[in-house]
Every structure is written in C-alpha cells, then in structure tokens.
Chains A and B, each alone.
Chain A
Amino acid sequence: MIVTPAGRWTSRIWLALGLVFLYLPIVALVVFSFTDSPVPNVWAGFSLRWYAKLAGDDEIRAGLFLSLKIAAATASAAVVLGTLAAFSLERFGRFRGRALFSGMASAPLVMPEVIVGLSLLLMLVSFQRMFGFPERGMATIWLGHLLVGLAYATVVVSARLRDLNPQFEEAAQDLGARPTQVFLLVTLPMIGQSLAAAWLLTFTLSLDDVVMSAFLSGPGSTTLPLVIFSRARLGLDPTVNALATVVVAVVAVFVIGSSYLIAVRERRRQRQQQAALKGGG
C-alpha cells in the first residue's frame, strides 16, 4: 500500500479530532469540579468545596450504595446467564427455537429502553395483582437491568467462544473428561478474561441506567442515576461534576489496572499453551 504524507496527516488529524470529541466532556467535568465559583462552568480558582459538599450529600450516598448493590447483583447474574446463553448459541449447533433464542438474546442491545422498561413493569404489575408480589424496588430494578446485561454478556462471551480453538475442548473429551469437567477445567479458564470483561461491562451499564430504573423503582429505591438525572434536568450542579470526577478516577484506575493484569495473565497462558503444544508435537 502506498501511503502519501497527506494521507497520513489526514488520518492523524481525524483520529485526534475524534478523540478530542470523545474526551472533551470528560475533561470539562473534571476541570470544573475543582472550580471555586458558586456558578458552575466558570473557572474561579482551585477549590475542593464541591467535594466537601459531595461527601455530605446523603441523597447521593444512599443512591450510590443502592446502585452498587444492584449493579453487583446484575453483573453476577448476567455473566452466569450470559455464559449459558453464549454456550448454547456457540457450542450446541442447531436446536429447536434457536432463531427465536438468538433474537431474544440480542434484541435488548438495541431495543429502546422505554419499551423494555414499560413492558416489564406492566407485566410485574399484573403479576402483583395476581399473586401479591413482587413489590417495586431493588429486586424489580435488578430484573430490568439483568435483561439488558444478559444481552451484553452474551455478546462478549459469544465472541470469545467463537475465537476459541475447539481443539482444546475436543482433546479433553477424547481423554475421557465428562462435559462438565471439560467446561470447568478447559473452557472456563480460557474464557475467564471475557467473563471478567462481561461482568465489568454489565456492572457499569447497571450503574448508569436511568430509564429502566425509573420505570421499575418503587418508593425509597432511588438509584444514583435517578438522583443525578433529576438534578441535571434542573441545571448544572458542580457537586455532580465532583461525583463525575470520582467516577472517572475509579474507572481509570480499575480499567487500567485490570487490563494490565489481564495482559500479564494472557501472555503467561499463551506461553503455557505454546509449551504444551510443542511438548505434544
């Protein structure tokens, strides 16, 4: 391929502008969280006053704890169900109703949340009329988040299963391992990284969700995004900026740290695999 200098510069500039576009809001959130101005969005010297205010904000704290609980429960259940779904779709060939299954598993990825939230709520309400439960609250929010999370977890785990060399699983089976053993001893360690990625992704999605939570929450179960959303609707609030900065910091440390760990483990695993293959050949 001939790449002209002009082409190279177009490429660099386009990529740079795209990244600026993606990161500008995050930078602005962080910068203005440190402003000393009572009016948000104006720089008036450095201060930590909005962080002090954030620390004393009971509404945000209660919302955060509730959201973290729901997000952890959502992510864990989504990874289990998503792995089962991905395994069914990638390893079992054809079965009756497969088309419906794969359609249902991926539709929540794109389905507008107002529709999913509304329909789930109306079903839960009719359940409640018939059986007297469930009450709207944490559990119903969890159900809704799990529906979207399951779709994302299935996509992530499916992609990994598809790339996986089936020879390892076949070898284990030829050596007499039962299907459960094959899964636990061979498949699971090899897809572990994608399970972690799916867990983190569904965790963040749940932690961020407004629409489903609004439909499915009951009195006293106001999640963090619902608190932020109601404040953001009213106008700018530097406490929200401070919160955003904390989120960005936690995410940055977590993502960079975990991707480093994953890279290290992946390299070790590949070395072991290569050694095993060489030894066998």
Chain B
Amino acid sequence: MKPALVEGGAGERPRWRGLPGGRRLVIGMPYLWLLLFFLLPFLIVLRISFAEMDGATISNLVSFADQDLVFRLKLGNYATIFQDDIYWSAYGRSLMYAGVTTVFCLLIGYPFAYFMARASAAVQPLLLMAVMLPFWTSFLLRVYAWKGLLDAQTGWVGRLLIHLHADHLLLALGLIPSAGEFMYSPFSLVLGMVYTYLPFMLLPLYATLAKLDLNLLEAAQDLGATPWQAFWRVTVPISRSGIIAGSMLVFIPCVGEYVIPELLGGPETLMIGRVLWDEFFSNNDWPLASGVAVIMVLLIIVPLAIFNNSQAKVARA
C-alpha cells in the first residue's frame, strides 16, 4: 500500500526532475530576486530603525552610564514612538478604519458575491467582467472622482445625501464635520476605502461561492433546515476561506493606506501611512520612519500569516 501511495501521489511531480540544473535555475531566479529585493530591504529597515540619524544625539547621551548609553542609543526611535501620542493614535486609527472598511466590504460584498454566484450561467461571466473592469481603469482617478461626487453643492452623491437628509444622521454619528459637508471626514475616507477595496473582497468570495454544490443546500433543507439555517450552517462555513482571504486582502493594505486618506481624509483622520510618509519626506528622519514601518509590520504580521495560510488553502481546494 505504502509504496504505491508514494508513487501515485508524487507520480506527476518528479517528471520535471529530468533536468536537475534547470529545476534549480527555475526556482533560483525568482527566489534570489525576492530575497534580494523583498527580504533584504526589510532587514535593512530593521537595522536602520535601531540607528540614530546624526551625531548630535550621540553626544547628548555620552554623559550617561555605559550600559545605559548603548540601550538608549539603540532604542531611541522606538522610545520616541512609544512616548508620543501622535504615533499611537495614528496606529489605532489606522487599525480602526481598516477594520471598519473590512466590515463594510464584507456586508456589501458577501450578498453581492452570493447573488453573483447564483445568477444564471450566462450572466455570471458578464457580472465577473463588470466587477473586474474598474480594476483596469486607474484607481487614482476613481478615488479622485469621489472628491467631485461628494461635493455638497454640485456632487451627485453629495446632493442625494442632503436630499435624503442623510447628512444629519452622519453628523449625529460624528462622521462628518457639519451638516452638508461630506469631504475630508471619516465618512468620505471610509467610503473611498470601501469603494477601492470592494473588488478585492468580491473576487475571492465569488471564487468560493461559485464552487458551492447546491445539492448540499437541498440536502440541508430536506433534513429540515430553514433556508436561513442552511445559509449559516452550510454556505457560510463553505465560503470561510473566501471570507478570510477577502478580509485580509482588504484589511492589510488599508492599515498602511496613504493615497486615499490623503485625497479624501481630513485632519482628524491622520493614519500611520501618512505619519511614515511625513517622517521620511518632510522631516527626513529615516531611522524614525523605519521604526514606524517596523511596528506597522508587527501589527499586520498576524493578519499576514492568516492571509498566506488562506492562500494556500484556496490553492489546495
């Protein structure tokens, strides 16, 4: 039994081993490239984050005891980040907005993907195409378009919201600065992020929902489940890998998003991507920017691991 299993299971794989040197070359080229341009830069950032920008700070610390000096010198950037409220509130806000965006993408995207997967076979490719097409047109231009759409006097969406008196609701929730003013607020920021990242949620959800065997739902209903029960206990668990992959595809990039908050956000929506940007470009403080980046990586490392895992799972399915 065992030898047969090994032969059958790995039967197709070793065929490509006919050219051992070639195999190594095929793997080696992208591998080396990634090590050199993806992993090595991280290690350099990690190293720079433990450095000081110039000599001035070193001389300030000379008066301290030897042990203490080494310690302070190395963790100076992290001490700054930990002590200053700006950084913590920016990290917190980034995580919160990324989380809120993910929830809204899921709330809008799950029914959308579900209905898409249930649409007739002739319509499905068209719907898929319709979801993909905006991908091909500049995301920057589409985000820019919301600036016009949300204008309270002239924008289509802005006027519609005022007509529906939705601005009072948003104001009561504290999402816009004043009635009839939608731009540069938490509302416009989250709207822009949900808009941009919705397709990233839709595609993995659709991929898992389209594979769902309808017989399973029928079986559940035959066994006495209500459609609602069947949905929660059959459909949702089956689409779990899609939910996880989609949520991570939205959440992780949103944490470090720079362009959307810059175009649609306001002074009260300062996110960590902007903080990093300013430390680097305006203050020219590379070590501090590196420290900000390292902590950001630490914050998203668990979601990243979940994402990689879900990618592997989707691949196996």
Contacts and interface: CB of A to CB of B under 8 A. Distances in A.
B23 interface: yes
B148 A81 contact: no
A104 B259 contact: no
A41 B41 contact: no
Contacts, number: 255
Interface string A7-21: 000111011001101
A95 B304 CA distance: 22
Interface residues of A, number: 95
Nearest to B199: A22
Interface in B25-71: 26-27, 29-31, 33-35, 37-42, 44-45, 48
Nearest to B39: A104
B218 A1 contact: yes
B315 interface: yes
Contacts of B127: 15
Contacts of B147: 232, 235-236
A135 interface: no
Contact of A118 (B14, B146, B290): B290
A240 B144 CA distance: 9
A275 interface: no
A262 B106 CA distance: 32
Interface residues of B, number: 96
A63 interface: no
Contact of A229 (B14, B19, B157, B259): B259
Contacts of A158: 315
Given A25-B146, A110-B307, A122 B286 contact: yes
25 contacts: A1-B218, A11-B119, A24-B157, A26-B134, A29-B142, A39-B154, A41-B155, A85-B30, A85-B31, A91-B16, A92-B27, A101-B31, A108-B38, A114-B276, A116-B38, A119-B44, A122-B44, A123-B41, A126-B44, A170-B12, A204-B138, A207-B138, A228-B140, A228-B141, A236-B144
Interface of A: 1-3, 10-12, 14-15, 18-19, 21-26, 28-29, 32, 39-42, 81-82, 84-85, 87-88, 91-93, 95, 97, 101-116, 118-120, 122-123, 126, 143, 146-147, 150, 154, 158, 162, 166, 169-170, 173, 178-180, 200-201, 204, 207-208, 210-211, 214-215, 225, 228-229, 232-233, 235-236, 240, 243-244, 247-248, 251-252, 255, 259
